[in-house]
Homo-oligomer: A and B are copies of this chain.
Amino acid sequence: MLSSLIDFSDYSFIKCNTVKSDPLSSRSMASKTPVGFIGLGNMGSPMAKNLLRNGYPVIATDVFPESCKELQDLGAQVVDSPAEVADKADRIITMLPSSPNVIEVYTGPNGILKKVKKGTLLIDSSTIDPAVSKEMAVAAEKMGAVFMDAPVSGGVGAASLAKLTFMVGGVEEEYHAAQELLTCMGANVVYCGQVGTGQAAKICNNMLLAIGMIGTAETMNLGIRLGLDPKLLAQILNMSSGRCWSSDTYNPVPGVMEGVPSANNYQGGFGTTLMAKDLGLAQNTATNTKTPIPLGSLAHQIYRVMSARGYANKDFSSVFQFLREEEGQ
């Protein structure tokens, strides 16, 4: 399915892992103790199911009761609040839409930290501002718990097939414990460093991805108008220094490649608004760290305009279509 196109499933991500790992720590494998899961949306639901499939009891909750029903039928215990999850599980995974949700679920009146037990491992797979990840880690540490950020690459398809890639930030000593759970849900787990670096890695990758995609779209469009055949131009770029993932794996020009969103009217794939959201995070972290990102910033603006002009739900490679139209057409 196209929905899994933006994963890294062809790569041996685990090789990046600089931690010598003994993947099954004795503590947790003596018996499979319950795992908490908060946030049962399009991504969270299949992730939680994969924990169940791997034999872990799951204690789950979500603001939408209907999201809990399916998981309950599969054997999960559903509770009313993050605080209750924290009361019953000492390993908890959260998968939420944005920073404010994460703040609420961890530090809100019924949040995890109200009832978290000492030594609990908290893994947040949401894609959020790394500064918020750091805040959560500090708050968790005050309660004697451990917080790690572990955002994912890969869409709903990769989540269902347990082929996600996790980029993990947090104290190295706890990485193995996190890895045990994450490998049930993903094909690759990479340790990135201190808390927040998982988010940083994801944000950085997606920013460069956006720049490469818009650049490829501009370049292909220019070449075509200058008389080059699009397939030949793609071949030339891919053998040359212009080569990038967007030119050789996910070419945005219809007719150049098969099995990519550009071959399917830009349906499926990674939506323009999702890219705009990730670029917003990149923008915020860059602003806050006083880091100049001229192209990343302009890429953000372009996806922002596209989101408002009918491209919101198209794959982000539709920037080719956005830029290509000629006057008078």
Chain A residues within CB distance 8 Å of chain B: 6, 8, 11-13, 15-16, 18, 130, 153, 165, 167, 190, 192-194, 196-197, 200-201, 203-209, 211-212, 214-216, 218-223, 225-229, 232-233, 235-237, 239-247, 249-250, 273, 276, 280, 282-302, 304-305, 307-309, 312, 322-323, 325-329
Contact = CB atoms under 8 A, between A and B. Distances in A.
A220 B296 CA distance: 12
Given A239-B16, A283-B287, A200 B216 contact: no
10 shortest A-B CB distances, which residue pairs? A244-B244, A211-B215, A208-B242, A200-B226, A11-B239, A205-B242, A204-B223, A208-B219, A308-B325, A294-B301
A221 to B, nearest CB: 6
Contacts of A200: 222-223, 226-228
A13 B192 CA distance: 37
A218 B295 contact: yes
Contact of A236 (B192, B235, B247, B280): B192
A308 B233 CA distance: 23
A222 B327 contact: no
